[in-house]
């Protein structure tokens, strides 16, 4: 679970994460980062090539972006990977092999397979998005 807190200083966001490990202990942490346009915040500890502020013992990556009107950002999803995309603030249009999809604030999408997703803000405001990318484990939630 990831929550975005209100902006405290210009260009700075605070995220709260809650993770459940193998032994069912809950670890809750707050992270405070300053970023501009796009940032790769979290990566797998086994990945020695990617330099991120946070390393975890999971095959996952977390990216955040704030895209301003007139700009766009691409997310490349490789074969054998999947991602969950959350539009935290604003609204954006996402284009890729699937066609075009519009997400409003708090909307989410599941992505899988080899694809390049282009996010472009809709309207006059910036779009703030969170992308959690991991190994492909099947389409949809399997715990319901």
Alpha carbon distance 82, 59 (integer Å): 11
Alpha carbon distance 105, 94 (integer Å): 13
Q: Quote the tokens at residue 52.
A: 């991120």
Q: Quote the tokens at residue 139.
A: 């389409």
CA angle 72-76-78, nearest 5°? Answer: 170
Prediction pTM value: 0.70
DSSP 8-class letter at 6: P
Q: Which domains, and CATH codes, for the chain?
A: 35-135 (2.60.120.10)
Q: 1-5, 99-103, 104-108: which range is least confident on average?
A: 1-5
Residue 4 predicted with pLDDT over 50: no
Q: What is the pLDDT of residue 134?
A: 92
Note whether 52 and 42 are within 8 A (CB): yes
Question: pLDDT tens-digit profile of 53-105?
Answer: 889 899 999 999 888 888 888 888 999 999 999 999 999 999 998 889 999 99
| HEC string for 25-67 | CEEEEEEEEECCCEEEEEEECCCCCCCCCEEECCCEEEEEEEE
């Amino acid at each position: 679970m990831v929550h975005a807190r209100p902006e405290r200083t210009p260009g700075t966001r605070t995220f709260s994460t809650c993770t459940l490990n193998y032994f069912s202990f809950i670890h809750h942490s707050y992270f405070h980062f300053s970023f501009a346009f796009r940032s790769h915040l979290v990566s797998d500890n086994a990945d020695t090539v990617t330099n991120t502020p946070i390393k975890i013992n999971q095959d996952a990556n977390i990216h955040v972006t704030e895209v301003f009107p007139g700009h766009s950002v691409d997310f490349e999803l490789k074969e054998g990977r999947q991602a969950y995309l959350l539009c935290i603030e604003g609204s954006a249009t996402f284009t890729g092999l699937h066609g075009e999809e519009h997400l409003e604030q708090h909307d989410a999408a599941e992505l899988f397979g080899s694809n390049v997703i282009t996010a472009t803000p809709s309207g006059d405001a910036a779009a703030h998005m969170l992308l959690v990318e991991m190994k492909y484990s099947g389409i949809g939630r399997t715990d319901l």
